[in-house]
């Protein structure tokens, strides 16, 4: 048995890492809060597009969101989670899982069965812990600024479906992970890596087809000029488009988006109805006044898709998948090396000799590897921004520079995006370059093309 000093050292190191990482998050968030409070002028580049009224609406929305995020981080991540670790919540949850297994007269010596109950209890605990913040964020913060479109009934049904689907998937994956670790011997991390890789590809394929429609309504984009233009653009780039959908995202929120999914030669494009001008409706008599005139024109939607298809053409999706697989292999190798170290389990409340596989995986991935995860996250943010610039350049070469700029400005206005950011906050938090950065880059590319001519 390890000495108490060693166990305490492990526990205090884990808690210190959690607190330090989240204090840094709070620090950079407060830098952005200061920007929200002190910025009072529309940037010169946006004066022709953004009124003072919209600027201050965006400022207040951004300020409310950031302050809410800071409060949540201070309470949950800096206070509650360290206390849960200190008082051994995971060990209590494991004992509760054992109690449920015994109640149903199942085999309490089977770690797979106990692990399935354990992950459900942990999931429910996390959900209930987060629910007040989710309710406030949806029905107070987003409602206040005009973005929430969910009714209480829609929200409740959405949460029930999310819990059911999430727990079913979690239980199945957890059972498989425990089985592989038990069965795989010394090199189980290789089998675990292969399983995770195959699973991620399966989920990428089935989630949009079978799971996403449980939460939102997907309908084929109606025949017309926009559909014809999108199909023409896809054909010109040899993008294997098989389906073109509009998702009724306006029932959930008025924020906009567009994306594509699918593997190999079967790709689908999804447009949020909030992306389309007047939600894509020809008859706007039923639209609320606040929704009229919002969204992008057909040409602007096409420019946005030119950017999205640039990600595909330039291999960004494939590169991200490769990076993810390399990272998974490294993570599982570290787990294989460290998971038998007893103080990890004793530090979070388990008695000596009790070492549940899922608990070891969670502690190592979430806490022991926290500095690595933070650095990797920052590196991926830098890479993501680089990919976004490349996709913008791809759209610019297709002749979409002006329309893409217009679309970016319009989406920023419709979503009350604030155009001014603290440099550290932006570089750490934003996976996309800011609106002004993207506008400047597109302008530079246009000027460079003019000089060549």
Indicate which residues carry an active-site annotation: 308, 392
Strand order of the β-sheet with 241-247 is 218-220, 241-247, 267-272, 258-261
Give the tokens for residue 190: 């290789």
The CA dihedral of 234, 237, 239, 241, to the nearest 10 degrees, is: 20
Angle of the 316-338 helix axis to the 188-206 helix axis, nearest 10: 140
Question: What region does 280 belong to: left with phi over 0, alpha with psi -120 to 50, or beta?
Answer: left
Which residues contribute to the annotated binding site for Zn(2+)?
A: 307, 311, 388
- Both tokens of 307, joined, read 């950017």
Residue with tokens 């939600």: 279
**Which residues carry a binding-site annotation?**
307, 311, 388
DSSP secondary structure letters along 11-66: HHHHHHHHHHHHHHHHHHHHHHHHHHHH--S--GGGTTT--HHHHHHHHHHHHHHH
Q: How are beta strands 241-247 and 267-272 bridged, if at all?
A: parallel
Sign of CA dihedral 403, 406, 412, 418: positive
Compute the 3-state secondary structure of the chain and give helix, strand, coil in percent, each to the nearest 5.
75, 5, 20
Phi-psi domain of 88 (left: phi exceeds 0; alpha: psi -120 through 50; beta: other): left
- Give 388: exposed, middle or buried? Use CB within 10 Å, 0-12, 13-18, 19+: buried
Token representation of residue 382? 């830098």
Alpha carbon distance 26, 70 (integer Å): 6
Residues 6+ away with beta carbon under 8 Å from 343: 2, 6, 7, 9, 10
The answer to whether the CB of 115 falls within 8 A of the CB of 175 is yes
């Amino acid at each position: 048995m390890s000495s108490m000093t060693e166990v305490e050292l492990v526990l205090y190191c884990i808690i210190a890492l959690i607190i330090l990482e989240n204090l840094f998050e709070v620090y950079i968030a407060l830098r952005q809060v200061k920007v929200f409070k002190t910025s009072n002028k529309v940037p010169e580049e946006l004066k022709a597009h953004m009124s003072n009224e919209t600027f201050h609406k965006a400022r207040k929305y951004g300020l409310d969101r950031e302050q809410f995020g800071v409060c949540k981080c201070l309470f949950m991540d800096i206070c509650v989670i360290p206390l849960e670790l200190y008082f051994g919540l995971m060990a209590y949850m494991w004992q509760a899982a054992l109690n449920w297994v015994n109640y149903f007269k199942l085999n309490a010596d089977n770690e797979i069965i106990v692990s399935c109950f354990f992950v459900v209890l942990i999931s429910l605990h996390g959900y209930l812990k987060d629910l007040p913040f989710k309710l406030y964020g949806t029905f107070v913060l987003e409602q206040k600024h005009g973005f929430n479109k969910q009714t209480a009934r829609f929200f409740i049904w959405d949460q029930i479906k999310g819990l059911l689907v999430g727990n079913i998937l979690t239980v199945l994956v957890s059972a498989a992970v425990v089985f592989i670790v038990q069965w795989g011997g010394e090199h189980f991390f290789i089998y675990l890596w292969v399983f995770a890789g195959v699973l991620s590809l399966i989920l990428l394929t089935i989630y949009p087809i079978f799971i996403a429609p449980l939460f939102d309504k997907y309908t084929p984009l109606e025949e017309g000029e926009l559909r014809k233009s999108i199909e023409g653009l896809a054909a010109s780039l040899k993008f294997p488009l098989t389906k073109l959908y509009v998702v009724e995202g306006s029932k959930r929120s008025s924020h906009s988006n567009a994306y594509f999914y699918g593997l190999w030669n079967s790709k689908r494009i999804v447009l949020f109805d909030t992306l389309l001008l007047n939600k894509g409706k020809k008859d706007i008599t039923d639209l609320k006044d606040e929704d009229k005139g919002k969204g992008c024109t057909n040409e602007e939607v096409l420019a946005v898709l030119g950017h999205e298809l640039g990600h595909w053409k330039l291999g960004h999706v494939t590169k991200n998948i490769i990076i993810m697989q390399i990272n998974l292999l490294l993570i599982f190798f570290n787990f294989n090396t460290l998971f038998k170290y007893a103080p990890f389990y004793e530090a979070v409340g388990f008695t000596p000799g009790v070492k549940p596989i899922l608990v070891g995986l969670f502690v190592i991935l979430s806490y022991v590897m926290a500095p690595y995860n933070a650095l990797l996250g920052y590196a991926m943010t830098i890479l993501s921004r680089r990919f976004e610039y490349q996709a913008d350049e791809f759209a610019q070469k297709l002749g979409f520079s002006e329309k893409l700029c217009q679309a970016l400005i319009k989406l920023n206005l419709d979503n009350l995006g604030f155009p001014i950011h603290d440099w550290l906050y932006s570089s750490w938090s934003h996976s996309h370059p800011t609106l002004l950065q993207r506008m400047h880059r597109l302008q530079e590319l246009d000027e460079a093309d003019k000089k060549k001519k």
